């Protein structure tokens, strides 16, 4: 396949973009991943002649915008609380009337909250694993008995598998709760779907080929995502009608959650019955050497440099 599934590039002159802030780093729990992603994006844009510059975190960006230093923002901040995926940055940029990559306020804020994203999917009739919303002090044991072991316990508003614990039995609940609570806010307890972990990148109106993730360990944790070199990525992850179905589902899930521009939708495929279950949306996915959206784009003949250019074009 080639990049013919995409429209022709809107522009070829990098000067059209003006001065571009590549926003990275920040103060969220995903800072290191964001810096890695940001430096890759910066290098790719500069290689194509874009007048792009590194900006570390939202306070530095505000200072630059007050002084009129940038015309648009390529957001590669990950996470919340100083990351750029929770709607706070998007509202700020809209107030400054500065174009930016990725989802708007609603899409960013909603998808940062796993619980409310799942509630929207349920209302739209889209399949997601059964779950229990847990406030501070709620009874984890009762929730686990309701869902049935094994379960995942995770903070509702973190990404990159930060704070996620896989709980096989009641004995492991206390440790899982302690890990998730370090990040504050509500927790999500989710039924564990046994099967294949897949992800689908979204670029504009196109769902990219799915990727099936095969970690060497038991599940796809932070180490497998960013550090290990023995995780296998099979692309496309499915074939024929199943591949068509997962791409269609991912695009519908992305749009129904208010997301736009580009991103990634994570999905589980049950080994028992082949059913697809939506997990979450990432509105500023990783752009590291291990990251999945660039891998999927390459399957369609889109290089990393072209991918960054196409994302930036969405701000015009």
Active site residues: 30, 160, 226, 264, 266, 280, 282, 286
Query: Can you tell me the distance from the alpha carbon of 36 to that of 262, in angstroms, rounded to the nearest whole number?
Result: 19
Query: Can you tell me the distance from the alpha carbon of 306 to that of 297, in angstroms, rounded to the nearest whole number?
Result: 9
From the CB of residue 166, how many other CB atoms can be counted at a distance below 10 Å? Answer: 15
Spatial strand order of the sheet with 151-155 comes to: 131-134, 187-191, 151-155, 165-167
Query: Can you tell me the distance from the alpha carbon of 37 to that of 153, in angstroms, rounded to the nearest whole number?
Result: 27
Query: Can you tell me the distance from the alpha carbon of 90 to that of 82, in angstroms, rounded to the nearest whole number?
Result: 12
Q: Going by C-beta distance under 8 Å and a sequence separation of 6 or more, which residues neighbour residue 79? A: 26, 28, 29, 30, 34, 85, 86, 158, 159, 160, 162
């Amino acid at each position: 396949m080639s990049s013919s599934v995409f429209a022709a590039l809107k522009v070829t002159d990098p000067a059209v973009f003006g001065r571009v802030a590549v926003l990275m780093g920040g103060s969220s729990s995903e800072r290191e991943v964001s810096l890695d992603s940001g430096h890759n994006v910066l290098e790719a844009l500069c290689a194509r002649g874009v007048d792009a510059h590194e900006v570390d975190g939202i306070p530095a960006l505000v200072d630059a915008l007050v002084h009129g230093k940038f015309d648009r923002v390529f957001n590669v901040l990950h996470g919340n609380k100083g990351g750029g995926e929770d709607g706070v940055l998007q509202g700020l940029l809209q107030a400054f009337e500065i174009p930016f990559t990725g989802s708007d306020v609603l899409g960013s804020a909603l998808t940062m909250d796993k619980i409310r994203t799942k509630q929207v999917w349920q209302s739209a009739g889209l399949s997601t694993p059964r779950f229990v919303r847990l406030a501070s002090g709620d009874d984890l044991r009762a929730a686990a008995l309701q869902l049935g072991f094994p379960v995942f316990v995770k903070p509702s508003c973190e990404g990159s598998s930060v704070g996620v614990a896989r709980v096989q039995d009641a004995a492991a609940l206390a440790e899982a709760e302690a890990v998730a609570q370090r990040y504050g806010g509500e927790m999500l307890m989710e039924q564990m779907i046994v099967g294949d972990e897949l992800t689908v990148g979204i670029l504009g109106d196109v769902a990219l080929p799915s990727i099936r993730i095969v970690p060497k360990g038991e599940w796809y944790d932070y180490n497998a995502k960013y550090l290990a070199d023995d995780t296998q990525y099979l692309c496309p992850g499915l074939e024929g009608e199943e591949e068509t179905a997962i791409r269609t589902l991912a695009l519908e899930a992305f749009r129904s959650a208010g997301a736009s521009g580009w991103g990634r939708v994570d999905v589980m495929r049950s080994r028992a019955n082949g059913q697809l279950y939506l997990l979450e949306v990432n509105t500023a996915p990783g752009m590291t050497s291990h990251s999945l959206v660039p891998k999927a784009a390459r399957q369609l003949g889109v290089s990393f440099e072209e991918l960054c250019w196409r994302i930036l074009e969405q701000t015009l």
